Chain A
Amino acid sequence: MSNVPDNLRYRDSHEWIDPTQDPSPVGITDHAQAELTDVVFVDPPKVGTQVSAGQQVCVIESVKAASDIYAPVAGEIVAINEALTGDPGLLNTDPYAGGWIFKIKASNPAEFDALMDAAAYGKHIA
């Protein structure tokens, strides 16, 4: 069973975002990392980029395939996780903490409510 923390919100494309933090960190779920296995490269977004909800913002690469990562909410990318350059495997080993990919300053916090909660995402991947 994959881990689906209660405090996060989820997109159907398997990104998580933490609405309790501002700016909000974004990553991929435990389920997604288990499907991808062996993340070997993260092509991060540029800090300062304005994105809309659902916009493709960066790419993560596993041995198997390249996967697009989408912004869960609109806003500005204000930070990227530099640690992933040296250790992209953090997405596999620590998907909800050390494996965050970027932080987004949400421009419309109401968009968090449009995302799935843990129960809904848990059903989505069941």
Chain B
Amino acid sequence: MGARMVPFAGWDMPVQYTGIVDEHKAVRQSVGVFDISHMGQFIVSGAGAEAFLNRVLTNDIARLQPGQGQYTLLLNGRGGVIDDLIAYRTSEREFYLVVNASRIEADWEHLETLLNKDDDVLMANASDFTAGLAIQGPKAREVAAAVFGNETSFPEHNTILVTMTSDGPMWLCGTGYTGEEGFEFFMPMETAETWFRKIVDAVKAAGGMPCGLGARDTLRLEMGYPLNGNDLSEERTPLQAGLGFFVDLDKGDFTGREALVAQKVAGLPDKLAAFRMTGAAPPPRPHYPVAFAGEIVGEVCSGTQSPSLGAGIGMAYVPLSAATIGSTLEIEIRGRRFPAEVVKKPFYRKPSV
């Protein structure tokens, strides 16, 4: 497909097919398809699955009905983020976890250490034999109807449909990483090629295009979604990352809870702030120094030129005094400082129709 490939988390991944801006706009305006086969999938089942996952993940998994999913986090004992993931309940006693490619091994090892012999839980790592596509954009429903037929119900936001077809099983998830309507479609690797062709054809017929990692990054950053490795790390808690909404401190004990409670009492040392460049400036990029009131206080975690806004946007951990909406930061780019303003997430909001 004329893709430019880059190594990413051990995979050769397309960074772009046509161009980041064209692909980005396709997703905002019609539809785009991303290869997300690199992502990891764990199946956790058994009578003790719910209790186990509630003991290791931050969100309250007991609230999920079969078919529902939630964004949640896996922490270390210090409250630091090992991974952020989506957990779906596929039946009363089975869960489907979708984790980051770069963290598959770390997540698996961590879960294994937390699992007790008498938990009555079976864990399966389906990552190696699972392929995936993300279909994202206002025309994602049109693509689903063209590929699966009108009778297949579209997975609504944060829901999962597990279906068996003559080509094998498929998992249809109402999630994405772009802020647009869409779905993520996982399937066994052997059936991937057939599905890939059908989906790419349907996407093109709907006026969309295949998209690479470059556009995936600009799209997610416009929404203020964190990227593990850039914006999340084992050294910082979800409270610092502004993800407190996905942490249920009242559900009972879970790994990292004690550290989070202690941090709440002590106060956060810093916070992930979203900033937007206020004048003409080079795009902010990861690791550029960030200054507040003349002093360097941190560095850019994620940063890019927003194709929708035509301005530089980014996120950085800064002291609370610097993190208030409207405060002025400076981003140091090649020795020069350019002003930026702390803004509310998301950076981009869909124009109301």
Contacts and interface: CB of A to CB of B under 8 A. Distances in A.
A79 interface: no
Interface centre among A40, A59, A62, A66 (most CB of B within 10 A): A40
B304 A63 contact: yes
Interface in A49-70: 59, 61-64, 66
Contacts of A37: 16, 19-21
A38 interface: yes
B281 A41 contact: yes
A41 B305 contact: yes
Contacts of B21: 37-38, 63
Determine the main DSSP class of A at the interface with B.
strand
Given A43-B334, A63-B218, A38 B283 contact: no
Interface residues of B, number: 16
A68 to B, nearest CB: 10
Interface residues of A, number: 12
Contact of A63 (B20, B281, B334): B20
B63 to A, nearest CB: 39
Contacts of B214: 63-64
A85 interface: yes
Interface in B9-67: 15-16, 19-21
A41 B20 contact: no
Contact of B282 (A38, A43, A64, A85): A43
17 contacts: A37-B16, A37-B19, A37-B21, A38-B307, A41-B280, A41-B281, A41-B282, A41-B305, A43-B334, A59-B334, A63-B20, A63-B304, A64-B15, A64-B16, A64-B20, A64-B214, A85-B280
